[in-house]
Structure 1
Amino acid sequence: MARPKFLPDNFTLCLVGTVILASLLPVHGQSATAFNWLTNIAVGLLFFLHGAKLSREAIIAGATHWRLHLVVLASTFVLFPVLGLVLKPVLSPLVTPALYAGVLFLCTLPSTVQSSIAFTSIARGNVPAAVCSASASSLIGIFVTPALVSVVVTNQNAGGTSAWHTVGNIVLQLLVPFVAGQLLRPLIGRWIERNKSVLKFVDQGSILFVVYGAFSEAVNEGLWHHIPLAALGGLLVVNAVLLALALGITIFTSKKLGFSRADQITIIFCGSKKSLAAGVPMAKVIFASNAVGAVVLPLMLFHQMQLMVCAALAQRWGARDLSAERDATRGEESGASAGERTAAARR
């Protein structure tokens, strides 16, 4: 039986199911403590595997395109936070203060890695540059995001913890496993390349673990009693405005700066998206446990929205470029055939 086209992908369905499960059966008490330790292990394993997967050659290959990387990083860590702050007087009345804190948090996050590269490939963009740019964004975000959160998301930091304490937690839980994976890449890198399904399972599984734990804590604190239905509708509007502006500005800027079409595609997809895989673990480290559920909700909705919109754009641009290549090939073949006929007539 064919899968209905209106259904989202399996991970999205699992994400929605996890939120529903946490809303109906939240973990609490000693079970919550044990689940928190299990989640920390899953997140550490995720970054360890990513460290072992990412080759140094891939980073070096795209690192020379510094103009493109600067534009992507500026969009990710400058444009988004500025948009979030500038639009706050207009958009914040549509949602609750806790939800807009989540919106500001997503504005500070790094770009996605896997989907940015995948969409760039589908749209026939500069894939090596996308690999380098998205990976650099993810690594830089480990340090930049906590600093931006301390500036942009005031009053919401983790229960009064210092920025240095936050950075220390992120280094311990995220960066150390990543570096360990890089160091062990010569031993396990080939195995990971042959078993990519393991990384995908850990990647998605760790996110589901964090989401379940975060929403369980939030539900125990009365999350759904504090967020009216109208605020959820307003959150969709806020996310749509942010995504539309990010896409529009990256499209306009990449053209004005004279980048090639392939580079424009890379800038658009790497510079307009935010990472759920990085954002959810970071939220768990940066924010107080009872605030994580409301903080990651805007990110979860933005993640689904950006995937649907960028998938449509990638398919459209990729099909258009492929059609243009086919037309050019046919034109060359027609010209060659006409030349052969003319030569034959002369003979």
Structure 2
Amino acid sequence: MDDRIRRHARVLVDHCTDVAPEDDVEIRAPTAAEDLVVALYEALGRRGARATTLWRNPRATRAYAREMDPDDYRPKEHRVAALAETDVVILIKGARNAAQTSDVDAAVGRAASRAKEPLLRERLDSRWVITQHPTPADAQRADLSTAAWRSLVYDAVDRDWAAMRERQAFVADRLADANEVRVVAGDDTGLRLDVAEMDAYNDAGRENMPGGEVATAPAVDGVEGEIRFDRPLRRGGREVEGIRLAFAEGRVVDSEAERGTDALDSLLETDEGARRVGELGIGTNEGVDRVTGNVLFDEKAAGTVHVALGDALSECVPEGRTGNESAVHADLIRDVSPDARIAFDGETVYRDGEFLIGDGGD
């Protein structure tokens, strides 16, 4: 086995979730990620933890969804009960066919997302992490050879996460103190977000691996303006490109896409919260140096911002404040390395892909 897979597993068990001997651990993985699951079992065995694996089969998911009536979807109460007794959840991505569910009816996809919401809530109450195992299908989507894709994945994962957390702490503190964030890029993006009394998230590879972002959540009605996203969104095996959104009083009031309009409309129609913003994040991971078509990587790339439609980051919503609620959390990504700036309370803190505060400034 490639030793990079074992290092990946150790990062997930030691750094991301800090598994203890008494922990019950659930691994959700596609069969394409078998090597990483084996490496995780080695690491979990050394810890003395109890491990269970739920194998995901996109072919079976597609077959089921194509026969289901949307009205027949309901929460899986037995799974909710099991998650309530689970201490750690490790979710692994990795496709044999990245478009396997692309011909599932959009109404069925929305119904499935709504039915999964209780599972999402229960999982968020555990210690959890989502990660990527490199597969040939995902390499093709990134327009890379399998070897190059593996190198990109492991370079993004195998970093000094303690140093990253320390380096980002000053920016996160400034963001937590801010009342307003503005994002301006080119002539097609001008967005204002009310973040007063919200917290900030310093992501140094805990819930996401790879990590690498500083993020916050806006007030439910606190987003105004327009933004164009120049990196693709992938939902349910469908790709959406050239997305433009206009916001008023926190809600998407106009939307368009150069490709994949139906998939974008389906996302926005999931529930009322899908038209509102749950997160604004700034990518900081320099190990991601290209567009891959994989949101877990693209949203962390240094020189990008992302706006998530849907459920708010719970880490950023303190007691007494209200964050957006939705069955979805969809990250849309914008390159801000050229001709762009980000301001906190009127002060430009980021310009053309570089922070002007913290290690990068004064």
| TM tier, smaller | under 0.3
Q: Could you state the TM-score of these two structures normalised by the residue count of structure 1? A: 0.26
Structure holding more strand per residue:
2
TM-score, reference length from structure 2: 0.25
